[in-house]
A = this chain, B = another copy of it.
């Protein structure tokens, strides 16, 4: 009884069900049972050991191994591997679209998937809609600036601070203001060669438009990062960088996707400036990195 399949087909890739059907007639009863079980639930069987599968099908280990051989694998181990692969393929096949809105009764796993998907979408949209000419001009202005002021309130305030932190890290003189009064009183200090940046999703947040207007009138270069490029804020902006807007829902306020979008724009500005000022930016970056290094191991304890 030799099942010498010398030179036989290499381990079957995916068409396992077909192979089972083809070979079924030449199988004995027990082997058929095994083969059918395997073909019916690849994922489940992949989790089983020979013994497990033997019990499940009411046969013995030897039969399982014989079946595996008949299907073209060197042994059960390899069949099992192929099964795992098959299961993975099937798995990845479905679950394509999660475009629906987030509902109140969505399980947490769906929330994660949908949010991630939405934010990815937002990023793609933003990248596609960003005017690289404007971006380039903004970068040039920033790279040459004597001083940079960033305005943003509410959620945009955090983005302003993010940009602020980044610019400081590469040795530029930057400030971020969330307080409208401080913003305005500082804006009057600006002059040509300085840069003012207003961040507002709605494009009509008076609190950040006002300081931008002041800066604009003082002759500073002004940049607006907004989701409404034709909104009031653009009046006083030399360069307008448009952020994209995802649809919002009750559970997902606009602030959420606008933030993602704004951050991407801010990152682009940052990288752009870092490129232009590489000579000074690179050392500054690594210096700030090293400055932090000892704060980590310091109190934290060791790994694990």
- Check if A204 sits within 8 Å of B81, measured CB to CB: no
Known: A111-B275, A115-B267. A204 touches B120 (CB 8 A): no
Q: Which residues of the other chain, B, contact A105 by a CB distance below 8 angstroms?
A: 275
A46 close to B (CB within 8 Å): yes
Residue pair A206, B89 in contact (C-beta under 8 Å)? no
Contact check, B116 vs A304: say whether CB atoms are below 8 A apart: no
Q: How far is the CB of A181 from chain B (nearest CB, A)?
A: 14
Known A-B contacts A260-B263, A300-B209; A268 and B112 likewise in contact (beta carbons under 8 Å):
yes
State the Cβ distance, A59 to closest chain B Cβ, in Å.
19
CB–CB B161/A205 < 8 A: no
Nearest residue, chain B, Cβ from A111: B271
A92: which of B14, B206, B278 is its contact (CB, 8 Å)? B14
Contacts of A111 in B (CB 8 A): 268, 271-272, 275
A interface residues, tally (CB under 8 Å): 91
Bound together, the chains give a CA A210 to CA B285 distance in angstroms of 27
- Give the contacting residue for A84; candidates B84, B124, B203, B251; CB below 8 A: B84
One complex includes copies of this chain to the number of: 2
Interface stretch (choices A33-41, A127-135, A188-196, A216-224): A127-135
Chain A contact residues: helix, strand, loop or mixed: helix
Task: Choose, from A50-58, A61-69, A291-299, the stretch at the interface.
Answer: A291-299
Contact flags A10-41 to B (C-beta < 8 A → 1, else 0): 00011000000000011000000000000000
Q: Give 20 new A-B contacts, CB below 8 A, not counting A92-B92, A108-B136.
A: A13-B91, A104-B278, A108-B135, A108-B272, A111-B272, A112-B130, A112-B132, A113-B127, A119-B267, A120-B124, A123-B123, A204-B296, A204-B301, A204-B303, A209-B299, A209-B300, A230-B304, A233-B300, A251-B274, A263-B263
Interface residues of A (CB under 8 A from B): 1, 3, 13-14, 25-26, 46, 80-82, 84-89, 91-92, 102, 104-106, 108-109, 111-113, 115-116, 119-120, 123-124, 126-127, 130, 132, 135-136, 139, 154-155, 158, 161-162, 165, 169, 202-207, 209-210, 228, 230-233, 235, 250-253, 256, 259-260, 263-264, 267-268, 271-272, 274-275, 278, 282, 285, 289, 292, 295-304
